[in-house]
Structure 1
Amino acid sequence: MFELSEKAQALREQVLAFMDEHVYPNEHLHHEQIANAENRWAPTAILEELKGKAKAAGLWNLFLPESDYGAGLTNFEYAHLCEIMGRSHMAPEVFNCSAPDTGNMETIARYGSPEQQKQWLEPLLAGEIRSCFSMTEPAVASSDATNISCEIRRDGDEYVINGRKWWSSGAMTTTCKIAIVMGKTDAGAEKHKQQSMILVPLDTPGVKIIRPLTVFGYDHAPHGHAEIEYDNVRVPASNMLLGEGRGFEIAQGRLGPGRIHHCMRTIGVAERALEAMCQRVNEREAFGKPLAQFDSIRKDIARSRLEIEQCRLLTLKAAHMMDTVGNKVARQEIAMIKVAAPSMALKILDRAIQVHGATGVCQDTFLAAAWAQVRTLRLADGPDEVHLDSIAKLELRNYPQTHARSH
C-alpha cells in the first residue's frame, strides 16, 4: 500500500524540485504583485510564468486519475503530490491542479458531452480559463443540499436559471469563464432527483457578481469567493450535465476525489507549519535558553508529529480504498478524513503561531493566512457535523438494533 510506482515517485521528485526552485522563492513576489496590481482579480505575472514552466516540465493536470487527459495516476499516487502542492497557497494553480477547477474538470470529463468537453474542458485543461462551482446559497442551510432553491426551468430549447448563490470560489478572477450551477429542475420529484447541474458561462446576460466575500478579512485575490445572482439567465438546453435530476449523482462522483485533495493539501500545510515551528524554536531564546528547550514546546512538537502521521495514514487509506473498492465503499473513510485533516492542521497552525508570537499573526509568515484558509475547510464540502453524522450512521450499521429484553 505504501509503495509508489516508479512513474509516481519520479513525478514526486520533480514536484519537490520545482517547488524548491520556482514556487517557494516566488511566493513573496506573487503577494507583492497582487498588492500592487491595477486589478487585484487578474492573475499575477509570476503565476502565469510559473504555469508555463510547469507545463513545459510535464507537471500539469496531474490530478485526473486513470485519465487520457492527465498523468494517469491513481488517487493514492496523486495524494503524495497533492500534499507537496498544499505547502504553498499558489502551488496548486501553478500545476493546474487547484480547486474548484479540478472537481469541475473531472465532472465535465466524466459526465459532460463531447461538445461540452470541447468548449469548456479543453481550455480548462490548457489552463487558459478558470471555473467556479455555484452550489451554496445564502438563504438556505446548504449543508443539506436538498434545501437548494435555485430554479432551473426548461423553456423550449433553453433552460432559465433564477437564484442567488454565494461562496462560488474562483468566480472573482478575471479568467473565470464558466460556472457549474446546481439547482432544482423538478420540485415534485423524489427528494434526491429534484436537483440538476448545468453549465453557465459567466458572460451570459443575467449573471451578476454581487460582491466578493472575505474569509476572516482575507479576500483571497486574485481567486476570490463570489456572491452571484442568476436573474432569468438563459442557456441552451444542451448545457445540462448528464440530464435532469442527476445533480446528486454528479455531486457524489465529484466530491470524493476533491475531499482527498483538500485533505492532502491540508496535511502539506500542517507539515510546513511544523517545520516553521521547529526552525523558530531553534533560533529564538527566552529567559536565557532556546525555546526548543522548554518542555511544553517539545510536547507540542511531538504531538504535532503524531497527529500529522495519523492523519496522513488515514487519508492515504481512504485514497487506496477509492482506487481498489470505489468511492461508495470508501465513503466512511472519506468522511473521516474530511473531519480529521482540517482540525489537525488548525491545532498545529495554532501552535506554530504561538511560538512565533506577534510575528505569527501578521503578514510576515504564511501562518495567519493559512489558519484562516484551513478553518473554512471545516465548512467547505459539508460541515464537520454532517460528516460526523454520516460516520456514526455507517458505524451503527455494524451493530443491528435489538429489542431490549423484558425482565
Structure 2
Amino acid sequence: MLPAGLGLALLLAACAAPPPPLPPPPPPPVNETLQGAVNSVLLDIARQLGAQAASERPAVFDPLLDSRSGQQTQATARVQQVLQASLAQVMPGVKLLTFDAAGAQDARWLFNGTLAAQPATPGAYRLTVALSDRSSGLVVARGVAPLRDEPLDEAPVRFYSDSPALVRDRAVQGYIDTTEKPVGQAADALYLEQIPTAALLNEAQEAYNEERWDRALELMSTAAQRDDGQQLRTFNGLYLANMKLGRTTEAEQAFGKIAALGLATSNLAVKILFRPGSTDFMGDDGPIYAMWLRQIARAAQGSELCLNIVGHTSKTGSEAVNRQLSLRRAQVMRERLVRDAPSLGRGQRLRTEGKGWEEAIVGTGTDDLRDALDRRVEFKVLGCT
C-alpha cells in the first residue's frame, strides 16, 4: 500500500497530464481527373529528382502506349498532350525536345509511360510515367496515379488501326518493361539503345496519321535500312504506305517481311476480321487477306516450320459458342494456307486451336476498331514431331 502522500501526488500528476493527441485528419481525396492524375505523376517525379528538377536538361517524350495492346490510342494521345503541356509548369528546368532524329540525338533524359485500363472498374485507368537517364541507363524517377475522368476513346490511332499485324514485339515490350522498373534500376537496355530508330519511326507514324504517305514511306524505308529497324512496326509501316500509294507489289513484299519476322520470333498475329458468327471475311478485304495468307504460307513453307493456328474472338456471346467459332476460323485459315502451299498439309505441320475470347487483349466487346485485336489469328511456331 502506497503512503497517503505519494498516492495523492500520483493522482494529481495524472490529472495534470495532457490528453492524448487527436488522430491526424484523413488525407484529402485524390484528384483522379485527367489533369489531376497528370499533376500527381509529374509532381511525384519532380519530388524524387529534388534539385535536379530545377536544372536545365534536354529531354524527349516517347509517346504513351496502351499497356494491354502496346498501341497508341486516342486516349493515350490525349493524355500525352496534357502531360507535355503540364511538364513546363511542374518542371520548368526540363527542355522538352521534339521526339524526332534531332531530339533523340540531343536529349539526355527520356520520358515514357503507359495508360492501363482497370478491368474491374469501367472508365478507370492507371497512368504511369518513367524518367530514364540515357547516360547512366537508369530509371531516375517514376510516377503512378489513378485516373478516372470522362470516358476516354480507346480506339487506336490511324497507324495502329490500319496495321495488318499486331505491333507488339521485343521493342515494344522493352518500352513497357521500362515504365515498370523501380527507381534506381536499369531501364531496358535494348529499348534505350533503339531510341534513335524509335524517334524515326515516330516521325513516320505521325506522317502516316496525317496522310503524308510519301513522307511516311521515306522515313520507314530509312528505318528499314538500320539493323535495329528490323521491327514489326517498320514493316507494318512500309506495307501501309505502299498500299496507300498504290504500290501493291511493294506492299506485298513488305507483308512478306512481316510474316518472316513474325514466324522467326513466334510473334505473328494478324487482324483478319470475319462477319459476326461466321467464317466469311468482313467487307471487301477478301483479296487483301488472300495476299496476307499467301505470304504467310510462303514464309512457313520456306522455313519448314510447324505452326499452331490460333483463332480468337471478341468478348461477346457465350464462351462455348465463341470457342467453337474461333476454332472454325482457325481451320479456315489452315485450309487457305494449304491451298497456297500444299506441302504444309503433310503430317502435323499445321495444327488448329480456338481460344474464343479467353486471351482477349482489349476485352471491351465493342466489336469495332477498338477491339479489333481481339478478333485476330495467331500463328505460333511449334516443334515438329
TM-score by length of 1: 0.24
TM-score by length of 2: 0.25
Structure 1 or 2, whichever has the larger Rg, is 2
